[in-house]
């Protein structure tokens, strides 16, 4: 538990620069081939309904880079307000905007300018007026306190060194009773403190992962109730570039909780 109480001492600026570079490439060269699956292949692995994927603008679908499906963790209804933390090229935010309809609204937050530009262009192509994308960090979300009915996230929490700060922000922006539906990863084996310094292991969604018990404890510690971990499958096997994910027993996982 020590690692999560005291975030690892990876150089934060270097880590953020590497994450931005990696995900700028996912936005601008989605076919390049990464250490993780992306795009249509990923959407099929994660079980997104085919109809949603066909509806998405091609650019949004091609740059999908999550580790799960936040919509499988709970329903999202008409008129609701949703925040997508680490919205990437916007696929989940666009799907959420369709689910909430014109009476609802969605805010996507991301720290990578290329992802934000792609997401805005995808929203315009989809003709959606109820979704906006804001530049920001999970650790200090640019969203009003208590604004959201639902916070979703997909493949992002593992990339954040100070997960307690990110979860505290997710808790802050939710209204009382609001829901957290976060797809992420869990590890079957702890990452050594040496590997935790390896920025390339972070950007590939490995070194920043937690054991299942650690993740649940952290979410509960942020003040969430009814915290439930939903285990997923191996979302890295067969990725275009070799990944060390299997060495750490990295699996997809979802967290469902209530504020
Ligand atoms: C693995 S991608 C997932 C993108 C999207 N959720 C999806 O499912 O396709 C991670 C995204 O999180 C963003 N990100 C990583 N750390 C972040 C942070 N601390 N604050 C805001 N965005 C962050 C990256 O810029 C990237 O777009």
pLDDT tens, position by position, 58-117: 999 999 999 999 999 999 999 999 999 999 999 999 999 999 999 999 999 999 999 999
Task: Report the distance separating Cα 76 and Cα 66, nearest Å.
Answer: 18
In the structure encoding, which two tokens stand for residue 172, read together? Answer: 């802050």
pLDDT band at 3 (very low <50, low <70, confident <90, very high): very low
Q: Which atom of ligand 1 is nearest to the CA of 155?
A: 1
57 Cα: distance to centroid of ligand 1 (angstroms): 19
Residues lining ligand 1, judged by CB closer than 6 Å? 19, 23, 64-66, 86-88, 91-92, 109-112, 115, 137-139, 154-156, 159-160
Whole-model pTM over 0.75: yes
In the chain, % helix, strand, coil (3-state, to 5) comes to 40, 20, 40
Hey, whose CA ends up nearest to atom 20 of ligand 1? 137
CA distance 5 to 35: 28
Report the share of the chain in percent with pLDDT over 70: 96
Residues in the chain: 259
Q: Which CATH class is domain 2-258?
A: alpha beta
- The full set of domain ranges for the chain reads 2-258
Atom 2 of ligand 1, nearest CA residue: 65
> Residue 168: phi, psi to the nearest 5?
-65, -35
Which atom from ligand 1 is nearest to the alpha carbon of 154? 6
Q: Is the pLDDT of residue 5 over 60?
A: no
């Amino acid at each position: 538990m020590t690692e999560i109480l005291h975030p690892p001492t990876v150089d934060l600026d270097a880590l953020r620069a590497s994450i931005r570079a990696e995900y700028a490439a996912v936005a601008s060269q989605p076919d390049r081939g990464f250490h993780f699956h992306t795009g249509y292949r990923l959407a099929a692995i994660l079980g997104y309904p085919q109809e949603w994927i066909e509806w998405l603008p091609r650019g949004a679908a091609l740059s999908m880079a999550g580790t799960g499906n936040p919509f499988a963790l709970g329903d999202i209804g008409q008129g609701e307000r949703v925040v997508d933390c680490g919205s990437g090229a916007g696929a989940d935010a666009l799907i959420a905007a369709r689910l909430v309809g014109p009476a609802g609204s969605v805010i996507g937050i991301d720290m990578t300018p290329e992802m934000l530009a792609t997401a805005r262009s995808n929203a315009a192509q989809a003709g959606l007026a109820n979704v906006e994308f804001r530049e920001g960090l999970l650790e200090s979300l640019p969203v009003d306190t208590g604004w959201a009915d639902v916070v979703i996230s997909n493949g992002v929490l593992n990339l954040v060194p100070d997960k307690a700060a990110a979860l505290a922000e997710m808790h802050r922006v939710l209204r009382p009773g609001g829901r957290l539906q976060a797809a992420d990863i869990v590890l079957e084996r702890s990452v050594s403190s040496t590997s935790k310094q390896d920025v390339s292991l972070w950007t590939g969604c490995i070194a920043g992962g937690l054991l299942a018990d650690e993740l649940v404890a952290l979410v509960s510690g942020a003040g969430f109730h009814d915290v439930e971990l939903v285990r997923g499958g191996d979302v890295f096997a067969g990725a275009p570039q070799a990944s060390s994910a299997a060495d750490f027993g990295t699996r997809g996982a979802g967290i469902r909780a209530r504020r």
